[in-house]
Structure 1
């Protein structure tokens, strides 16, 4: 379907929606910008409200996303994640994708109040700070900031061995991470974070905050991760504990 074809029994809004959907599915790239509402309205001979409603429907179905002041962009196919406790590297390998990191910085700093509370440390005690842009098949997926008690991981600030932090903790330091408390919330990316993830500023994201524990019950990791909202979704499997009997 093209803008010049007759709509038949379709409404003008549905004609626009189907045309844009077909364009997206036929080869538009992730994060490619759609024509402006003004240009689309002129092409279809309709008002901008009709165009906006058609794009609203595509946005509800996760096909596009809007960035205020910049326009409307094509969403990437999301990677679905269950709430099973896995590392980023494990997630990607389960999907036959190659995990990696675009950039890695490591340093030692005082824990501070919030991190100290999460890890059960005095605010003055040192933690190893790791900041990584995690990738899947070379594409940025996640901006990860991790802090670990320095006394548990001597020398970690000199570098992670391999792609998986959890594998390195087990192999070098005998720390097996077995469970975590995790909080997930929706957010938008600031300019610096968006640039590192190679998406437009104010793009949607998931902020995942995790405190992980080893088999001895020690808090060994406090991590804050920003996942691209266009590439990630979370899936929950839920069940009722009891079914009330009908009266």
Structure 2
């Protein structure tokens, strides 16, 4: 059985190099997980206990733990504590940055993969033509795929890009954003609309859940710096595997 408290010693922290303390603490925790000293579902000591054991500030501890939570390494449960994330736990995705699924999963130590369901050049639907501001004779590249993390189905995604933006559908490997980056047209901002839906039998089968299971339906329109829309994506994320998190702050003004 793991002994999480035994991980946090001044000697172990000192062995993490000479960088900022919070980075050395992150490295200490990641190293303990890699070595099996911390395992899935292990509870970490409280911020106060870690700070006391390592003789560092709670602010430093909080910064290290918060970043590891953002990266999916740790999970915090309100009123309970901080735990090592386990296989099959929910993934939290913050909505403050425009990133790709591939980047999100790699940041959490998960291996992204894709199963292609469709790669075609076709005429746009009326809503695709409107959203992407296409002229009457333009075509689109339509990309439908199953997104997975560590082999676990996570999302079904249909991405549509103006055909003039990419040489061909085959220009997209595992990551659309990587292909757009290579083409010099990586989006810089996006608008997303989220809603709750029940999965159809076909989509549920692809995501390995029962028909009618809850899903997060997301429409995203991504834009270039000059305001042109470059991507229109519709996705269904497994409701039992994904949480989207938004950080809210006050304006600092009083009424």
TM-score per shorter chain, which class? 0.5 to 0.7
* Distance apart, 1:109 and its partner CA: 1.3
Maintained 8 Å contact 1:112/1:123? no
Counterparts of 1:7-22 in structure 2, within 5 Å, are none
Question: Scaled by the length of structure 2, what TM-score is found?
Answer: 0.63
Cα deviation, 1:149-199, whole Å, max 9, x if unaligned, reads 0011122x23523x211111111x221211111111111100011011111
1-structure distance, mates of 2:254, 2:158: 45
**Gapped regions of structure 1 (runs ≥ 5):** 1-24, 26-60, 62-75
Choose from 139, 153, 168 the match for 1:126. Answer: 139
**Gapped regions of structure 2 (runs ≥ 5):** 1-40, 42-77, 79-87
Choose from 179, 203, 209 the match for 1:168. Answer: 179
In the alignment, which residue of structure 2 is the partner of 1:88? 101
1-structure distance, mates of 2:133, 2:196: 27
Counterparts of 1:10-89 in structure 2, within 5 Å, are 77-83=89-95, 84-89=97-102
Q: Which of structures 1 and 2 has the bigger CA Rg?
A: 1
In the alignment, which residue of structure 1 is the partner of 2:212? 202
1-structure distance, mates of 2:128, 2:251: 35
In the alignment, which residue of structure 2 is the partner of 1:225? 235
Structure 2 SS opposite 1:177? coil
Maintained 8 Å contact 1:98/1:137? yes
Maintained 8 Å contact 2:139/2:162? yes
Question: Scaled by the length of structure 1, what TM-score is found?
Answer: 0.65
* Distance apart, 1:102 and its partner CA: 2.4
Stretches of 4+ aligned residues off by more than 3 angstroms: none
Aligned residues: 169
Counterparts in 2 of 1:238 and 1:115: CA distance versus 1, 3 Å: same
Cα deviation, 1:14-41, whole Å, max 9, x if unaligned, reads xxxxxxxxxxx9xxxxxxxxxxxxxxxx
